[in-house]
Amino acid sequence: MNLLIELLAFAVAIGVLVVVHEYGHYSVARWCGVKVLRFSIGFGKPLFQWVSPKTGTEWTIAALPLGGYVKMLDERETGGAPIPVDALPHAFNRQSVWRRFAIVAAGPVANFLLAIVLFALVFATGVTEPAAVVAAPAPNTPAALAGFDGGETIVAVRTGNAGESERVRSWSDLRWKLLGAAFDQKRIVLSAKDAHGTSDFQLDLRGITEKDVDDDLMSHLGFEPGGGKLTVAGVQPGSAAQKAGLAVGDRLRAVDGIPTDNATAFIAYVKSHASVPMTLQVERGGQAAGKLEEVRIVPQSQRDDATGHQIGRIGAELATQVPSIDVRYGPVESLQLGARRTWDLAVYSVRMFGRMIVGEASLKNLSGPVTIADYAGKSARLGPSAFLSFLALVSISLGVLNLLPIPVLDGGHLLYYLVEAVTGKVVSDRWQLVFQRAGLACIVALSAIALFNDLARLIHF
């Protein structure tokens, strides 16, 4: 059943993205007066064909659905057959350089516009997200140095002391605002509420590197969702948790006097205390609210396969129930946020690709159709909002990929047209052929790496 959902979700995702991309080329070509001969979804043997009596365009669905194309009237692609004189003004190669530029750029632009609309739909229809309540930060993290103790609800963010405040509605909203500030290397002020009122916290992001952003910005800064209930969901036989008397349903309130309401922070603390006694404050099921017991526990020391270091384990499964909030925006604000989210993700994708080229980021970040299908299925099972957000993300990736200055892709053709606009001369067919072969080699190499990464994730090697 899961496989069927993944295949259907993948087919819908690829179908929508390809149709939108190619329709961008098609619509601008028609607007520029270029005759479109074929609009094809997929490659290979046609499964369905229909010719429009009005435009003469052949609409095709082909057997291999991983892509599509728009074929336009072009003197260079007739196989030597002459084009009627009255049709020459409608040939693609007869258009001005800027019209050709607009037609080619329209595909990626359509993908970005689709992402804006999809994100706007998510923002406008509303989504349930964790509230922007922070857990007690780890020592010496930027959040701890800023003065956060845990339990504060962040309500606004501004740049410096004189900047304009932006409202923070949810944890996701906070994450995106911090991500943007980290990219811009800014010093910001976070306004947060607790039982004593509203306070300002200075957070300096000028020393944050792109590696910090790539790994996990929020964890690096010391921010984890808080304000919820951290409970024991399971206890392994013979574990430190069982020996200490922990039971399913126990709520963990503090460890060594430090309040805890986040599984990630609690696990990190346990890992750093291998064979070191800890004292847990536990609220038992059936106890009066606020009545706590102290439980002494000694984490078992185990070797971490990833680092080779000894880490602590207590053998308890944890569940976190964090406070959530329904986030909904108005139509205009939704479009604004959709455009901002699309811009941020596009810039991030370009920077990530640039870092992979220079060797500062791993090529393991490249994903192919198997991983896309997997995430398409997972997001579809999570609900419409998750699937639409996934679709927007892939649409942005497709737009960015096609704008890369690699021959064969749209970006390669745009580079030719820019050269032509500057020099007044068309790039010769000989050089275009050389660049096309090089570009094809790049695409094959990238596809091979992405497929290898897919297989590595699938069979865990």
Helix (H) / strand (E) element for 154: namely strand 153-159
- What's the rounded Cα separation, in Å, for the pair 191 and 181? 15
- What's the rounded Cα separation, in Å, for the pair 452 and 314? 36
- What's the rounded Cα separation, in Å, for the pair 25 and 414? 13
Residues 6+ apart with CB under 8 A from 57: 26, 36, 37, 38, 39, 51
- What's the rounded Cα separation, in Å, for the pair 70 and 47? 17
- Using alpha carbons only, what angle is made at residue 372 by residues 178 and 210, rounded to the nearest 5 degrees? 30
- Annotated active-site residue in 22, 152, 224, 283: 22
Residue 377 is classified by DSSP as H
Bridge partners (DSSP) of residue 116 are none
Residues 6+ apart with CB under 8 A from 423: none
- b (16+ CB within 10 A) / e for 196-232: eeeeebebebeebebebbbeebbebbbbbbbbbebbb
C-beta of residue 90 within 8 angstroms of C-beta of residue 82 = no
- Using alpha carbons only, what angle is made at residue 453 by residues 415 and 385, rounded to the nearest 5 degrees? 80
22 in active site: yes
Pick from 50, 43, 37, 47: which is nearest to 14 by CA?
43
Give whole-number Cα distances, 41 to 29, 60, 66, 254, 371, in Å: 17, 6, 8, 58, 22
Helix (H) / strand (E) element for 70: namely strand 58-72
Please give the positions annotated as active site.
Answer: 22
